[in-house]
Each structure stands twice: as structure tokens, then as C-alpha cells.
Structure 1
Amino acid sequence: MDAQRPSTSGAFNGLPIEINREIVSYLDTDKEIADFRLVCKGTNDAVDGDFLSFWRFKFRQFFALKAGTKNRVLKQQYQRRKKYMRLGAGINWYHGWSKPETRVLQVLAEIINESFQGGHEHDDYGRPRCLNQDQLLQFIQNSKNFLAVKRPRAPKAHGKNECINPALAAVQIMCAHFLFENLNMKHNIYCFEVSQKAVYQTPAKAPMFVGLNKVEVNMELVLHGLNFFRNHMVGTDMGMHHMMRYMHPTQKPSPWQTPLSEGCSPLTKHWKGTYAFLDHADLRKVRAVDEDDDDLEVFIDGNVDIDGKIQLECGEPGAFPWSQLFEKHLKSSPPPAQAPRTRAQGRSLIPNDEKPTAIQFRGEGDDAEDHFYATGWLTSLPPQPAGLDIPGWQRITFMKSFDTDEVEAITDNLWAYEGVVLPGGRIIIGRWWLDYSGPFIFWAVEPELGFEGNITETSTSIL
């Protein structure tokens, strides 16, 4: 008998299809399902009969269901996703250019882009949570080294395959949303000194945005920023680790809570964050050292254990004063009505008419013992990187002052900030500068719990 042809005389043939389907629904692995399907005609019908309805049931166990998707497509998507997620968990990730790596990245990006399609659940703290996000977290935990990819050397001295694939960096950035939930999980952080050097580079050498019209995110720089702050948050010998360990889960960085979409989206009100700096002598040293040097020195970062807070208010362009002095430093003027394009998208990108391309905001908060004010802009960026087209990236710029909230009265003591709002609007990574510069991170939080368990409207953090 052909091993791939179901038997017509097996014991399961005598059972109703409903019983066989109940049995297969309890099988844990895809191999067990495949084996069960080949037992006999009755088991084959339980899996592939009834217009493939079993595959709709199986898909909905693990993934968000996009409305209107046919069962035939769901079967193909389920099998493809499971296949490449198993493959991706077992391979040794390097720079993201190999055929297996690129295929896994396509699947992971698909799971990211289709998160929160249809219904969703809630976590233990009432926050929206999607099955796709649980699958991404499981992939991270099962992977051999997905988040411990070797950093490349200078691209000008090597071929394309020596540089990190922006697609790999983008998916790593999205997966990094889950790394702050459990400080006890395994955190593989490659060479902190490499990320430290990257985040303290000058804007001229390491711009936050690159490509045509400067609307392409420098994915590798953002990834270095996440690695830099994650090291301070999870490293047991770091000052920020103790603060993060005892922080309520609703006050830690968290994943996106809504479907990802193109265009500009207002930021939530409450934020925490911190920034880092080096003294001038160390800053000169870290910038001067050769990036190909295998013996990079680690310098002592200042301020990273400070818990800053800010509350934001968003409005339409023109809602808040914006001086020419601010514009001179930040170049934050809204883009044209048509959405910006990357070089790869060329003229093919259709602008999103349902969302604005720019939003203005102002904020007020506390940085250590100082009260400050902030005014700035959000501008939309196109879906990226090319080939994955993850939507929801935004550029954020703002000016921070400790003096007054009257914009026109400010003449000095200004701190400029430029960064990337990650898709979903829950984490911001970027660079601040005055006469020198350094990295910053913000993350959205819930209103803090009072001592008696009541929600209190406390000010929130920025840095």
C-alpha cells in the first residue's frame, strides 16, 4: 500500500468525522497531525474534508485571523508559518542575507503586519494582546541566536553580505518589544561596547534617517539603541536593572496594542524614559576608536538609572507655538500632503488619505529633580524596509527646555531630540544633542497605580 495514500479499512473509518476531528484537535505537533491524516480515509477527511474547516480552526488557535481569508489559504499560511518558524528557531543567524534567513524574515514580518486582525485577547493587566505576538515571543525563546546576531564591520570595506540586512534589523526591532516583560529570560546581548560606540556617533556619521528624502530608518542604529538600553535594563550589574526588576509590569516597555497602519498616529499620554551621556573626554575617545578594533573599550554611561516622566498632548499642525529657532535645529516642518517615498518604493506608494502626515505635540514632565517642557512634531514614514513593508514608523522631533513653556521667550538651555517611533507607538529610540549628544529611549506606560490600588494621574517621564 502507498504510504502516502490513506487506508480505507482502518479502525478510524468507523468513527464519525466529528469524533476524528475531536481527536486531531488534541494533537500537539504538526507532525502528529500529518501522521494522523495518513492513518486512513476517515482521519484524512477529518483534516482535509468539510471544505478544509479544520485548518481554519487550527489557524485560529495560533494566529490572528484576517477577515475574508479562505480555508485553502489558511491551510497554506499555517503550514508555511509553522515550517519557517521551526527553521528559524534552529538556524544560526548571522547577517540575514542567506535564503533560509530571508524566508523566515518574510514569515515573521507577515505575522507582525497581520497582528490584531480580527479579534484579540487581553493580558493579566487588561492590555490588548494578540496571538501573533505570543507566537513571536515563543519564536524568540526557541531560537538559538535570533537576537544575538553578530554586528558587521564597516560596509565600505566589505561586500553586501558583510552588512546587516535591514530586513533582519527591522524584525529584530519589532521582536525586541517583548524582551522587557520578563527580566529572567535569556538575554543575549552581543558586544555592548559595539552598541555603545554606535549610539554616541555624530549625526553626520550615523544619521537616524537615510535614503531618498531621508525617510528610511537607519535600522541598524535603532537596533544598537535598543541593545544599549536593554543591556542597562537587564544586566544584573547595571544600575537600571534593580529599578526595572521591581517596576510594575504596566510601567515597563511593552508591545504594540493595535493593528499596525500607515500614516501618523497620536501618541498616548503617559511615558517613561531615560537618556545617557558620556563626559567630553570619554565621548571623544569612543568616537575616535576604529570601529574594526576588536578591543573596544566600555565607558561608564551617565544618567541611565534616572527615571524620567512626561505627559504628552497631541494636536493638529499649528496647535502649539513653534519658533524658527526650533525649526533651524530640528527641521521638523510637516512634509507635503502626499506621503514620502523610499527609493525602493519610487512612485508606486499610494498615500494614506485617512491619516495626517504630521501631528504636533507638547509635553511637560520631570527629569531627575528638574521640571521641563517640550514641544515637537510627529511625521509619518512609509512602510519599510523594502520587501517586508512594516507600516507605522514615525519620525519624532522635539525641543526640550527647563526655563519656561513660553516658546518665544526661550533663547538658551535648549535640548534637541530626534528619534524613531516604532510601529505601534509604544517605544521611541533616538538621539538628543546640545553641544554634544547621546542616546535616549521612551516607552508608553499606563497611569501609575497609587498605594491603595487606585489609578492616579501622575506626571510621566522623558529624558
Structure 2
Amino acid sequence: MAYKSTGFPTVAGATSHPSRSLILNIPNEILHQIVGHLPTDRDVINLTLSCKELHDRILGPSTGIWRHRYEANYDIPEARSMDELGYEYKTRAIVLSQKMDFRSPRPTKGQQLWLEVIYTMLIESLAVSQKASGPKTYNRIREAMSQAKFLNRPRKPKPSEFTCAIQLCLTALALHKEVSEPCLRSEYELAIVYSFGSEPVGPYIPHENLDLTKILHIRSFWQRHLLELDEMTYYLTFSYLDEDHRPKMRKSYGIDENQLSSSWIGYYSCLHLESIPVTRAAFNKSSTQTCADIESHLRLDILSMNLHITNDPFWPAECNKIIPMYPDQDINRVFFQGMQGLYNQASEGNPVFGFTEPIAYPYGGIPGWTRICFAIIPDGNEEYSSDWLHGYEAILLPGGRIMLGRWIDLKNPTGRGPFIFWDVEVPCCSQG
């Protein structure tokens, strides 16, 4: 390709015309390839402003320039026309380029529009099958979260279901130290995190009228304690995890996204509620938020679980009394069993059994929420004669990779607290 004094390339096959700029003589196919390699959208627009003919040839309805740039940056959803993709691409380019400050207590119209764009990208990332080239849309979401600091301040005074749903679905990024930061203790109420003052009656994760704000309090608690070194609780063990064993939003290419994952790791937190001051205000102001910061308490390691699907619909009455199954007989409930041990430690472990229930309602306009319930019993105590029987009830977030909820001692319900588990595609441990 030789260059003349005009600054435009001479291309083999182009028909020269003395009264035309040389770039106008380039065939459309080659012109579109050149435009496709321009580094920014602004470069494309500047080129189209040169003359009307270039504008029509580059941005005409049949050129597909914006679809090409869309495909370079995002996953392509099904059943979307070229015009729709072009409009969506330009909308995202404009909105996501704006600086957002979510520290202010009152949301602005600009913030709402920004969230709506993030919502469309989130739906796209969850719905489009992963390709070997990687999750493009998810990477754009990650870039947006790194710049806007939306996840750093998860809770407004009265967050909407829409905002809570987006926050929860992006939990993997909220727990990523290169994307987010530890939130403040004021971002959650400890009394809500530990279900203080409430009787364990009925499902903690109901199918109808699920309180996403409650779950966001739990997520915020973990965002604080997993990312904040000064808390001196879970930070060190979490920070030592390699990338393969950190929380993710979506499963990788080639892995069945609808199948319950087999390998999980995570944490639980506890407090001796009988020793906590009786008032809710005193509970929230307590300097001790978890037994993990009490030296006399047993060291809290990272837990692990290996699970497998079973045809045995096992959920005994002692469990169902506090963690009841959803009454709908037609629900597609899936039962599983497994073993619970410690991260990267071979051990005999404790038996696990439980089930999942899909939730039909798309909270926040996002489908794919699932209720997961399971119990852990001491090894060798299948007859439930031990001093404890721990039941876990959580929401499995859309994408199927992170669960957030509450554990409770089914024999002594004063023992309870928050927990978080996430799946790992690379097995981390073995249980006997």
C-alpha cells in the first residue's frame, strides 16, 4: 500500500477519478474494513463528517459498521436486527462514557439511565452462550464497574428491587479487589444480617415477595469482611485464593450452565446471640460482628462442598419444620447429596443433603433466581443424635455460581448467621 501526498492510501483495484478524493475511489468492502480498524467511535464519526458520500457509504443501513463494532465489544444476542444492534451500541457508547458518582444519597436521572444500560448488558451476558473467545459483554460490565464505583456503596436508604437485583447479580465483581472496594459498616445492618429478633418461622427465601434488600445486607457484610484487612476476620484467607477459586458470575465455555455445580467453597459467620445485648440498636452498634475476630473462638477456615445430583428425595421432617419445601407439587425440585470439608484439605468431612427450587418470578426483571436448601450433619450421625444439625437456606443468584443466605442450627435456632458459597470449576479439595 503506497501513500501519496493526500494522506490517503492508494488501493489496488480502486478506480481513480481526477475530481474525486482518492478515498472515495476505494471499494465499499475495503472501505468498511478500514473503518472497522479505526481505534475509536469518534474516529468513525470524524471520517463520516468529511462529506455526505462518505457518511452514506459508512453509516448507511446496509453497511453493518455498528454491528461490526458491537461484535468486537459485546456478545451478539439472538434475534436482534442490525438496526437494533447499532442503536444499542451507540446508546452504550454515550451513556457509559459519562462519569457517575454513586456516593450521593439521591439517585439522579443520569444514574437511572446508566443502570438501565447496565441491566441490558447484564441480561445479555446471562443469556448469551459463552464463546471460547471469552465473555465480551461481562468484560465491558467489569470496566464500567471499575470506573463508576457503583458496587462500593451497595445500599441506598431505600433501594429499589431493580437496584438490589443488579447489585446482587454483580456480586462476583463486588468481591473482586481490582474492581470494587470494601463497603462501610454503615452499608448494612448487623441485626438483619443475623436475623436478630426474628423467629425462624417459614422460609427465609420465599418464592413470593422475596426481600432482595435483606440479601443485599448479607452481600454487603461479606463485601466488608472479605475485602477489608482492618477487620482482621476473613480477609487473609480470601486474599490467598487463586483466580480459579474466586467468585465468578458465569460458567465458562463448554460447561453446562443449568447443572448444579459439583464443587463449592465459602464461609459462614456466627455470633453467640444469647450474649448479645437485647436491643436492636445495641446489636447494630456492636464492635464484634463475627466470631472470626475473637481469638478464643475456633479458627474459621474456608469450607468446601462436593455435591452430586441424586434421585433420592430426602428432606427429613426435622429439617422441613424450619426450612420447609415450597408447597407447589409441580415445581422442578432437584435433590443432591455430598460431603462438606475444608478448603485444600483432605478429610473425611460431614454429610450434606438438600435440594434446589427454581423461582419463577424474575426479580428486578432478571430471570434465573433459585432457592437452595441443604443440611450438614456431623459425620457418623445419620440418625441426627448429635448436638447440632445445621440447615442452610440461600438464594442462588442468576448464573448459578454464588449463593447468599442464612444458616441456622435446627436443634438450637439461637445459633444462626450469614453464609456465602461460590462454585469453583477447578476442584480444590477431596473428601473421603
TM-score interval, normalised by the smaller of the two chains: 0.7 to 0.9
Map of 1:400-439 to 2, 5 A cutoff?
400-404=376-380, 406=382, 408-410=383-385, 412-434=387-409, 435-436=413-414, 437-439=416-418
Map of 1:272-421 to 2, 5 A cutoff?
272-280=265-273, 283-284=276-277, 287-289=280-282, 296-303=285-292, 305-316=300-311, 319-333=312-326, 335-337=328-330, 357-366=332-341, 371-386=349-364, 389-404=365-380, 406=382, 408-410=383-385, 412-421=387-396
Q: Is the 8 A contact 2:378 2:386 kept in 1?
A: no
What SS does the corresponding residue of 1:52 show, helix, strand or coil?
A: coil
How far apart are 1:48 and its partner, in Å? 1.4
CA separation in 1, counterparts of 2:106 and 2:259?
33
Find 1:240's aligned residue among 234, 240, 255: 234
What SS does the corresponding residue of 2:322 show, helix, strand or coil?
A: helix
CA separation in 2, counterparts of 1:10 and 1:305?
72
Q: Deviations over 1:239-274 (max 9, x none)?
A: 432222322211111121279xxxx94421001111
How far apart are 1:431 and its partner, in Å? 0.6
Q: Give the percent of matched residue pairs that are identical in Structure 1 and Structure 2.
A: 21
CA separation in 1, counterparts of 2:239 and 2:107?
36
Query: Which residue in 1 is equivalent to 2:431?
Result: 459
Q: Is the 8 A contact 1:97 1:165 kept in 2?
A: no
1:112 equivalent in alignment to 2:122: yes
What SS does the corresponding residue of 1:330 show, helix, strand or coil?
A: coil
CA separation in 1, counterparts of 2:349 and 2:96?
47
CA separation in 2, counterparts of 1:206 and 1:73?
49
Unaligned runs of at least 5 residues, structure 1: 1-7, 124-128, 153-161, 338-355, 450-456
CA separation in 2, counterparts of 1:185 and 1:305?
26
What SS does the corresponding residue of 2:96 show, helix, strand or coil?
A: helix
Map of 1:140-289 to 2, 5 A cutoff?
140-143=145-148, 145-149=149-153, 151-152=155-156, 162-181=157-176, 183-191=177-185, 194-202=188-196, 204=198, 214-237=207-230, 238-257=232-251, 265-280=258-273, 283-284=276-277, 287-289=280-282
The one-letter code sitting in structure 2 at the alignment partner of 1:55 is: W
Shift of the 179–71 alpha-carbon distance from structure 1 to 2, 3 Å rule, reads same
How far apart are 1:323 and its partner, in Å? 1.5
What SS does the corresponding residue of 2:68 show, helix, strand or coil?
A: helix
TM-score by length of 1: 0.75
The one-letter code sitting in structure 1 at the alignment partner of 2:423 is: A
Aligned length in residues: 397
Q: Is the 8 A contact 2:202 2:322 kept in 1?
A: no
Shift of the 273–97 alpha-carbon distance from structure 1 to 2, 3 Å rule, reads same
How far apart are 1:39 and its partner, in Å? 1.8
Unaligned runs of at least 5 residues, structure 2: 1-18, 293-298
Query: Which residue in 1 is equivalent to 2:60?
Result: 49
Q: Is the 8 A contact 1:363 1:373 kept in 2?
A: yes
1:15 equivalent in alignment to 2:26: yes
TM-score by length of 2: 0.80
Shift of the 32–383 alpha-carbon distance from structure 1 to 2, 3 Å rule, reads farther
Q: Deviations over 1:354-412 (max 9, x none)?
A: xx6311122211259883222222111134334xx211111112222115463x55575
Q: Is the 8 A contact 1:309 1:459 kept in 2?
A: no
CA separation in 1, counterparts of 2:36 and 2:164?
36
Shift of the 206–94 alpha-carbon distance from structure 1 to 2, 3 Å rule, reads farther
CA separation in 1, counterparts of 2:246 and 2:103?
28
CA separation in 2, counterparts of 1:328 and 1:448?
34
Query: Which residue in 2 is equivalent to 1:62?
Result: 73
Shift of the 201–393 alpha-carbon distance from structure 1 to 2, 3 Å rule, reads same
The structure with more radius of gyration: 2
Question: For the aligned residues, what is the CA RMSD?
Answer: 3.4
What SS does the corresponding residue of 2:162 show, helix, strand or coil?
A: helix
CA separation in 1, counterparts of 2:129 and 2:194?
42
Q: Is the 8 A contact 1:189 1:227 kept in 2?
A: yes
How far apart are 1:119 and its partner, in Å? 5.6
CA separation in 2, counterparts of 1:203 and 1:399?
23
